[in-house]
Chain A
Amino acid sequence: MNSKDDVHICDKKLNLKEKTCPNREQRANGINVYYGPVTQLIKDAKAGNLKLSERKFQQSAGCTLNFYLAIRISTIRDAVLIFHAPVGCSASALGYRELFRNIPTAAGRPPFDLHWLTTGITEKDIVYGAGDKLKKAIRVAEERYKPRAIFVLTSCASGIIGEDIEGAVSAMQPHIKAKIVPVHCEGIRSKLVQTGYDAFWHGVLKYLVKKPEKKQDDLVNIASMLSYTWQDRVEMTSILKRMGLRPNFVPEFATVQQLEELSEAAVTAPLCASYTDYISRGLEQEYGVPYFMYPSPVGFQNTDEWLRKIGEYTGKEREAETVIEEERRKWGPRMDAIRKELGNIKGNGKKIEMLGALGQGRLLSQLPYFDELGIKSSAALSQDYDNLILEDLEKVVDQVGDFNILVNTFQAAEQAHITRMLNPDITLTCPFQGSAYKRNKGATRTHAVRCDNLKWSQQTAYAGAVAYGSFLLQGMKSISWQKTMLEKTQYGYKDWYFKQSDPLYYLEKDAV
């Protein structure tokens, strides 16, 4: 795909000798902003023309530590997480015990008791250093909870004052039974939150994954996404079971052993290509576990393909075909009915237009699914973009055609602007879009609350395609909430911003 050797597309070789991964910016030319046709983005990416930019106006949109990384790691069942940080950096993990706890164990939820610590870096530590404190925290973690692993997460403060994390870890490891895993996720290291996930997987690969003792031919690694629900796990588990396979969902609510055994699996399958990238490549490079990145099991066609690929790697091709046939027979008529009803909504033969706020993973998985539903995505918002998904993005364009893409690291004002400007029939919102949902047309969510246990909220595989399809149908049936809010509440941004046409009005045109 890369005709010119001098253009750096992405670095696929991982170096686990390093203490951490490279940033997405370096590894894959990751960018924080882009607006234009996706076909042009692909051209620019191949020509090496993508660049990071600064904005004169920008909004808080997460950092490598604080964009679900903390929550993810804190749910590893027999591990303890230590935030080597001021007390505010860990606050997002305060809801950790409640995630999934309302799901009955009868529904397959394993019992768990989760713990995290903060070293609570103070002014004094800034002056004198906090290395001893980290060591004490590691000992406290071991004594209190007797975990199998201890993850140490870094912060801006620990990074800037030059804390020697590796030094502390290697000093403590001989005295500690738990495996200590440093994760370098100081917020200042990267503009792209995906770097934090890579940093986590780097630690997992470097410190936790064991040399395979035996191959588990029926084990399928799936790096799960918190934004899919418990029912999605149940669905994927049951489908894979019918093929004689077992999913190894990591890291959320996994055990440390599940992470150690990643090397024994038959294949690593994607749920989110971007999130899974580093661990997938690492497992292949170090232990020969094959992987694929595309597609994810969202929508009928892509679920077919996902199952077929898993079947290929596990010698279950026939079983895959059987499941595909059964599932299509079961859910196909309902999918057809949903498609038909969606197609009739506008009454003029035209498709519903949708604007989705998505991450890179959902950009790849959702757009073909919406196309399947007969919904047109004339534009999509993506949190970020990097060349790791370049080939897969081309496949999406092959499936659904060209569309406009706004890469914008969840900038709420830009999202509000483009939503007003494009005025789609329905907009999918993450919880973080400011006023973008206040409008006279459809607005609904991208994904469910984390603890949601309803089948209604499922999105993966065939049952999920039907569930989310009917969910979207419902979303098209009322605008009263968003319309009321538009009329009755403040929008927050001044009108002139919406009277000019450029959502990237505040972009600094010189690259940094």
Chain B
Amino acid sequence: MAETGVDNESSFDDIADIKEAPRYSCSLAGAYASTLGVYGAVPILHSGGGCGVAQLFGQFYTSGECAPGVQGGTGTPCTSLVEQHVIFGGEDRLQKLIKSTTELMEGSLYVVITGCVPSLIGDDVESVVRKFKAETKNRIPIIYVNAPGFSGNTYKGYELFLNAVIDQYLVPIKKKKRTINILGVVPFQHVFWKGDLETLKNTFAKIGVEANIIFTEFDGPEKLKRIPAAELNLVLNPWLGHSVAQRLEEKFGTPYVTFPSVPVEPQQTTALLGIVAEKLGIPEKKVKAIVAAEERRAYRNVEYFGDTLIIGMPHSYTAVVADSATAVGVTKYIANEVGYLPDITIITDNPPEEKRPEILRELSENIDCVVKPEVFFESDTHKIRQLLKGRSYLVLLASSLEKYITDEFNDALHLSVSFPINDRMIIDHSYVGYRGGIVLMEDIITKFTGPL
């Protein structure tokens, strides 16, 4: 096709990768973010020198402007490979870096993350790590994650990290009754990860379930080791982490249950507690009593925003642009409990084809409103913008990439609720659990309220 200069114009299968500002980084970023989420683990990047800095800006600051801590960003050990290493190999650099890192940086688990360059030049990272373990007589815990950026996105990196942990770090231990692991929430990529995980842990504690949230716990590597002790794995995602849960089932015999969202309000939270309680054989009566008390408080607080909601901006058409778990949770909440009309929901995390029907079902059958959202799967920022044009919504719950396009859309009220978020500081903030919905409404209503 000389006319356009493209030789193989009929082949459009790779054009899908060409995107404006997709809402995730690469698999190295996902493995790196996951490692930093495990407090006590130290990432060691075997990569070009820019991979840490790129993710400092592209995966961490984009996560509610969060600095990634002393082991993150420019604090992250990195072999910083250049051309000479491409020619002669980078194994020697890695060997020296592992030794020096374990001498200098506090940590109880070291995680070597291999980027594009060593993967392309064929460095044998496994043997470098094996050699180090032999030399140090296995006294220093270390694993490696092969996560070249070209192998996938942040979500893939999260799974690669957990798979490496399962294969290289975990050993079978005795099961402990009424304990669960929470999977499917990716550090930094799920911008509200810190607040959400803590809320979930506390919520489960109320019904007597000990939730191992793995991330944000100070003895993170110990929490990793406890993964096989769980009675049940809970995956809070309609697609991500399912394969990890399967692997844990195969290896440690732990059954798993999936839930299609991070539970954004009382209804979803109550449903989630019910599912877990049933699986763990917790008496229904006990759960019901706790749920009743939690709901009573939650809805009493909802009364506080009632007047400003119903006078200020009631039953507004709403657009949601977010990853699957957030999109399902937020759309269900605003539709089923706040009375907003779900106009359009755009899912930005590329769920695999076979998981899409379940997401579509959640966003139709489980939406209690005559208006059902039109659902799209799209991560290209340009296409998302086209999809958002010419619609009725006045509330746009999206990422900060949509912050400054709202003038085209009737000046819709914009709030960042999904990655990337550069326009809000998100640390403890959470939309999860009995109080989460109220927090979300505080954030929305803050944008329009005034003296009544």
- Chain A interface (Cβ < 8 Å from any Cβ of B): 54, 56-67, 71, 85-98, 101, 115-126, 130, 132-133, 135-137, 139-140, 144, 155-157, 160-161, 171-172, 174-176, 187-191, 410-413, 431-435, 490-494, 497, 506, 512
- In the complex, what residue of chain B is closest to A122 when comparing beta carbons? B150
Supply 15 further A-B pairs (C-beta < 8 A) apart from A124-B14, A175-B3: A54-B93, A60-B47, A60-B73, A88-B54, A89-B149, A94-B422, A97-B401, A98-B403, A115-B382, A118-B22, A121-B150, A133-B14, A156-B116, A157-B150, A187-B49
Contact of A88 among B117, B120, B121, B149 (CB under 8 A): B149
* Residues 21-78 (chain B) with a chain A CB within 8 angstroms: 21-29, 45, 47-59, 61-62, 67, 70-71, 73-78
- Bound complex: CA A126 to CA B100 (Å): 32
Name the A residues within 8 Å of B71 (CB-CB). Answer: 492
- Bound complex: CA A493 to CA B100 (Å): 11
CB distance B80 to A60 under 8 Å? yes
CB distance A66 to B100 under 8 Å? no
A-B residue pairs, 10 tightest by C-beta: A91-B58, A60-B52, A88-B26, A63-B50, A492-B70, A120-B17, A86-B149, A66-B50, A57-B100, A92-B57
Knowing A101-B403, A157-B120, A492-B70, the reply to whether A175 touches B4 (Cβ < 8 A) is yes
CB distance A160 to B121 under 8 Å? yes
From residue B189, how far is it (CB to closest CB) to chain A in Å? 11
Question: B153 at interface (Cβ–Cβ under 8 A)?
Answer: yes
CB distance A189 to B82 under 8 Å? yes
Knowing A59-B78, A60-B50, A432-B53, the reply to whether A493 touches B106 (Cβ < 8 A) is yes
CB distance A98 to B76 under 8 Å? no
CB distance B104 to A413 under 8 Å? yes
- Chain B interface (Cβ < 8 Å from any Cβ of A): 3-8, 11, 14-15, 17-29, 45, 47-59, 61-62, 67, 70-71, 73-86, 93, 96-97, 99-101, 103-106, 116-117, 120-121, 148-151, 153, 382, 400-401, 403-405, 420, 422-423
Tell me the total A-B contact number using a CB cutoff of 8 A.
Answer: 276
From residue B144, how far is it (CB to closest CB) to chain A in Å? 17
Knowing A132-B7, A139-B4, the reply to whether A56 touches B81 (Cβ < 8 A) is no
- Bound complex: CA A3 to CA B143 (Å): 54
- Bound complex: CA A190 to CA B84 (Å): 10
Knowing A59-B78, A63-B49, A491-B70, the reply to whether A136 touches B18 (Cβ < 8 A) is yes
- Bound complex: CA A320 to CA B106 (Å): 56
CB distance B54 to A98 under 8 Å? no
- In the complex, what residue of chain B is closest to A63 when comparing beta carbons? B50
Knowing A58-B77, A59-B76, A95-B62, the reply to whether A187 touches B48 (Cβ < 8 A) is yes
Name the B residues within 8 Å of A98 (CB-CB). Answer: 400, 403-404, 422-423
CB distance B57 to A136 under 8 Å? no
Name the A residues within 8 Å of B382 (CB-CB). Answer: 115, 144
Contact of B80 among A58, A90, A490 (CB under 8 A): A58
- In the complex, what residue of chain A is closest to B27 when comparing beta carbons? A88
Name the A residues within 8 Å of B19 (CB-CB). Answer: 117-118, 120
CB distance A97 to B404 under 8 Å? yes
Contact of B58 among A58, A64, A88, A432 (CB under 8 A): A88
- In the complex, what residue of chain B is closest to A157 when comparing beta carbons? B116
CB distance B83 to A60 under 8 Å? no
CB distance B80 to A132 under 8 Å? no
CB distance A140 to B81 under 8 Å? no
Contact of A56 among B48, B85, B96, B423 (CB under 8 A): B96
Name the A residues within 8 Å of B85 (CB-CB). Answer: 188
CB distance B149 to A412 under 8 Å? no
Contact of A494 among B5, B99, B104 (CB under 8 A): B104
Name the A residues within 8 Å of B45 (CB-CB). Answer: 60
CB distance A140 to B15 under 8 Å? yes
- Bound complex: CA A91 to CA B50 (Å): 12
- Bound complex: CA A123 to CA B101 (Å): 30
Contact of B79 among A58, A65, A175, A494 (CB under 8 A): A58
26 contacting pairs across A/B (C-beta < 8 A): A56-B100, A59-B75, A60-B73, A64-B50, A66-B54, A88-B149, A91-B29, A92-B54, A92-B57, A94-B422, A95-B422, A117-B18, A118-B19, A120-B18, A122-B14, A125-B17, A132-B14, A139-B4, A156-B117, A188-B48, A431-B67, A431-B73, A434-B74, A434-B75, A492-B106, A506-B100
